[in-house]
Amino acid sequence: MNQSFSTDDLSFLTENYKEITEKIAAAAVSSGRNPSDVRLMAVTKTVSPAHINHMISLGVGLIGENKVQELLGKLEFLTTEKTDIHIIGHLQSNKVRKIINTVSMIQSVDSISLIDEISRQAVNNNKTMDILLEVNIDSEDSKTGLPAESLIETAFRAADTKGIVLKGLMSIPPICEDEKTARMYFEKTRRLYEDMKSALGKRADISVLSMGMSSDFEAAILEGSNLVRVGSSLFGARRY
């Protein structure tokens, strides 16, 4: 991994960070909330530790990685003492053990068997793990995520499982041509989030709605998102 970078790269990251945080703040205010009500996650897949560390030094308090292997490979080079790390990609049950003491939340929980394995590892390590359920908002598409129909049932199961702290919902809507369609998906997700919250009542402290990425985070915030996951608009286009 290339860890050296020029001064040009630094100012580029600084400018991106400034621009994104300003847009988040404006969208939050437009939706009747405070800028601090919306949390920014820097999505760091394919990004070098040097770039990630610079983004952290600018004030990003949360990073997200998709793959366990990639996260663990970078970890020793990261200055994450004051930074939360979340898993946001599809997680295989046999990898849970490897990250149970590294991440503070798993956002991409999409099956009962994964809930059970996170529970087992959390209990073994004497801790609890925050999770979000990932909902597949566009069931036509064959992407990951729970079907909306089984969301509430799975939420009850998660809320009643030892070692698991259910915090909310995450979704990745299909790529949309226009903002209107994107907002429709975000609105649908927010309704599911509210249904889940009221169904669970006091059984869980549902407070996180994770939706919105580089191309659509403002639309997501206008529809109620309080955690946006931004990669390429912060770090530049990914080079795989």
Q: Which residues bind ligand PLP (CB under 6 A)?
A: 43, 45, 66, 88-89, 172, 213-215, 229-233
Closest CA to 53 of 80, 30, 84: 80
Report in angstroms how near the CB of residue 121 gets to ligand PLP at its nearest: 22
What own/partner pairs with CB < 8 Å and gap ≥ 24 does 135-139 have? 135/169, 135/170, 135/171, 135/189, 135/192, 136/110, 136/171, 137/171, 137/172, 137/173, 137/174, 137/185, 137/188, 137/189, 137/192, 138/173, 138/174, 138/185
The nearer residue to ligand PLP, 119 or 171, going by C-beta atoms, is: 171
Q: In whole angstroms, what separates CA 59 from the centre of its chain? A: 17
Shortest reach from residue 107's CB to ligand PLP, in Å: 7
Residue number, nearest CB to ligand PLP: 231
Nearer to ligand PLP by Cβ, of 154 and 233: the residue is 233
Please, which residues bridge with residue 85 across strands? Answer: 63
Least distance to ligand PLP from the beta carbon of 99, Å?
A: 16
- Sequence-distant (6+) residues with CB within 8 A of 78 are 49, 52, 53, 56, 63
In whole angstroms, how close is the CB of 68 to ligand PLP at the nearest point?
Answer: 14
Between 70 and 120, CB nearer to ligand PLP: 70
Nearest CB to ligand PLP, comparing residues 43 and 155: 43
- Asked whether 231 and 239 are in contact (CB, 8 A), the reply is no
Under DSSP, is residue 115 helix (H, G, I), strand (E, B) or coil? helix
Of 108 and 154, CB closest to ligand PLP? 108
Residue 207 Cβ, how far from ligand PLP at the closest point, in Å?
Answer: 19
Cα–Cα dist 14/227, whole Å: 20
| Shortest spacing between CB 134 and ligand PLP, in angstroms | 8
Nearer to ligand PLP, 34 or 240 (CB): 240
C-beta neighbour count of 12 within 10 angstroms: 17
